[in-house]
Chains A and B, each alone.
Chain A
Amino acid sequence: MKNRKNNRKDLLSLKFISLFIFFIFLSLSVYAQPDDTKCLVCHGKKGFSNPLSTGRILNLYVDAKELRKSVHSEKSCTDCHSDVLSIPHRNEINKVNCAERCHFVGNPSGAPETVKYSEYFQSVHGQALLKGVSSAPICQDCHGSHDIYKPDNENSKVSRKNIPKTCGKCHLQEYVDFTNSVHGEAYQKGNPDVPVCTNCHGEHKILSHDNPKSTVYASHIRETCSACHEKMQIMEKYGVSTEQVETYEESFHGIANEFGIKTAANCASCHGYHNIRPSSDPKSTIYKDNIPKTCGKCHPGANINFAKGKMHINPKKKESGIVYYVAQSFKYLTISVMLALVAHIILDLRKRLKKTES
């Protein structure tokens, strides 16, 4: 009996202890969940905003669902907004500095480790920020703030679908030029091959076009364009010749460009860059009537004859017409003349040898 009572007591205490432990775990797991409820008391209300001294109305509404769908689904408000210490917070809340907390190489919080963070600071955007230009874009300007997704997610601001708009927020003229260009028009139809801003300019490492390291610097334009325009499998879809790269490289412009003469024409000098259009388009820089103006940028006094004939010429191909025949006739002339002369020399030497022997 006694033993039984004791046993019951023991069982009860065991139950209590196990319950207690369970509650501890429960509370711990509740603690592990980001607790944004307090913040959302105010920030979850639509229309919650604050008029600024500048006259702009700062929208302070936060859609919590958005954050939960984003790459930061497991983060709570204060993980980023670390300067919020009490509720209500009366002090001015700063813009979140992503690089300070998590996004640096060797971070302990599991943020992706890439060189992109340092690339940004070398870029024209990062440099402007360091110089204190207030309009310089920071991470959130391109990637979004609560709605950050991986770039391959369509909803991402830096996805292929959204990049031109994202850049166009600041670079409006370029956006307009691009969307009306041959690349932009195809892009809007959902073409997967045409370049968007980042394909030519890079992403984090965007440099000014007069920086020698830039992908759009005069001497690098050819590589940037030929990245696609040299590829047969892309170009044959659209009936664009891949020869243009090779023929340019063999032309006066190409050779001079290769040897670092920056005044020599590169692809963009003639075709434009954001406003590239086919030669059939009257607005194109390489439309027949616009050629004298385009060439005249470097060759003052160019007239309409500059538009006659092919620009990109490959002497090895029959399509080049007269140039091809000139090249061929010289080839055979050289070979035959050299064979005749060398034969004459060899025969002469052979005869001399025979003579000296006899």
Chain B
Amino acid sequence: MDDNKRDDSFSTEKNKELTTLKETIKEQVLNELREKYGNGFKKDELEKIASRILEDYVEIKDKVLLDYIREEERKKEREKKEKPAEEEKEEFFIRFGLNFRLQHMLLFTSCIVLILTGIPEKFYFTSPAAFFINLVGGMKTITLIHRIGAAGLVCMFLYHCLIYTPFTRQGRSDFIELLPRWKDVTDVIQMIKYFFGKTDEKPKFGRFSYIEKFDYWAVYWGCIIMIGSGFLMWFEVESINLFGKVIVDICKEAHSDEGLLCTLAILIWHFYNVHFNPRVFPMSWVWWNGKISKEDMIEEHPLEYEKIMMKRNKAVKKNE
């Protein structure tokens, strides 16, 4: 309300100024006309000519102004296209770098191959498994494919542990972030309280929630068990020669059981968190483009968001 009043008073003042301006301009024009053509024209005709000139002038002025404003706008747009606007930067955060995403892709392709060929081997006595094994081309073929998948998993795991984690900045910081802390325990307790309505506050997560940490360490432990036991069974003669047959029996049991556990964890837990959860259904795209929206960031990783904003503010202050 106040603003409108102010606007009205402001516009009336302006209008007054404009009318006085217009009149002075008109008089000047009239005077000039009288000096040059005073003898040839009557007074009222002169006034008509003056007012027409004035109208033309105003029109032209408006056009010129409009053109100028449009040109300025275009310039601004061009600049926007050339540089990503600061507003968009605020909309998305890069959660996972390309390196990490490629590792994840290699991990899940080999895992899919391993599960598809491993589970039928575990449940060989069921008819669908037998059908699938024969469909693929028999036991020899399916074990060969299983070992190709294994090679992929070994490559990914070795790269992750021996190169990515120790030798890249992101790898190091993420690994430290992923280490379990006391906070995770309290987070779980708070989450359960929240589920049962004892508190209205969800636990605030940092870069990795306990859910994601569980996923990461489950894969880590799974890889150690599966690759270790798988390797010993792959070279069974050497393993038995070194440790006796019992090592292969243990490996077979562990490999088979851990394989089932991994499969169930992926199908139930991981698929719920990244596919079936109503918040992300049908799929979270973080694995593909690494981006997370500001909304999700504040929702899921508020502590990390705060950290990032603090850093930015510091950087802005430094620049100033």
Contact = CB atoms under 8 A, between A and B. Distances in A.
Interface stretch (A24-32, A54-62, A152-160, A342-350): A342-350
A38 B260 CA distance: 84
B96 interface: no
Nearest to A258: B124
Contacts of A350: 195
Interface in A200-220: none
Contacts of A300: 237
Interface residues of A, number: 42
A334 B246 contact: no
Interface string A299-313: 111110110111101
A249 to B, nearest CB: 8
Interface stretch (B44-52, B158-166, B177-185, B249-257): B249-257
Interface string A271-296: 00000000000000000000000000
B236 A299 contact: yes
Interface stretch (B10-18, B35-43, B75-83, B263-271): B263-271
Interface string B232-261: 000011101111111001101110011011
Contacts of A303: 241
A71 interface: no
Interface in A294-343: 299-303, 305-306, 308-311, 313, 315, 320-323, 326-327, 330-331, 333-334, 337-338, 341-342
A252 interface: yes
B139 A256 contact: yes
Nearest to A252: B252
A309 B248 CA distance: 11
Contacts of A255: 121, 124, 139
Contacts of B242: 305
Interface string A165-200: 000000000000000000000000000000000000
A68 interface: no
A305 B261 contact: no
A261 interface: yes
Contacts of A301: 237-238, 241
Interface residues of B, number: 39
B192 A334 contact: no
B100 interface: no
A260 interface: yes
B246 A323 contact: yes
B195 A322 contact: no
Contacts of A313: 249
Contacts of A308: 244-246
B10 to A, nearest CB: 47
Interface in B153-194: 192, 194
A352 interface: yes
B253 A327 contact: yes
Interface of B: 121, 124, 130, 133-134, 138-140, 192, 194-197, 236-238, 240-246, 249-250, 252-254, 257-258, 260-261, 264-265, 268-269, 272, 277-278
Interface of A: 252, 255-256, 258-261, 299-303, 305-306, 308-311, 313, 315, 320-323, 326-327, 330-331, 333-334, 337-338, 341-342, 345, 347-352, 354
Given A259-B130, A261-B140, A313-B249, 17 more contacts: A255-B121, A256-B139, A258-B124, A259-B139, A301-B237, A301-B238, A301-B241, A309-B246, A315-B249, A326-B250, A330-B254, A334-B257, A337-B265, A338-B264, A338-B265, A347-B196, A348-B277
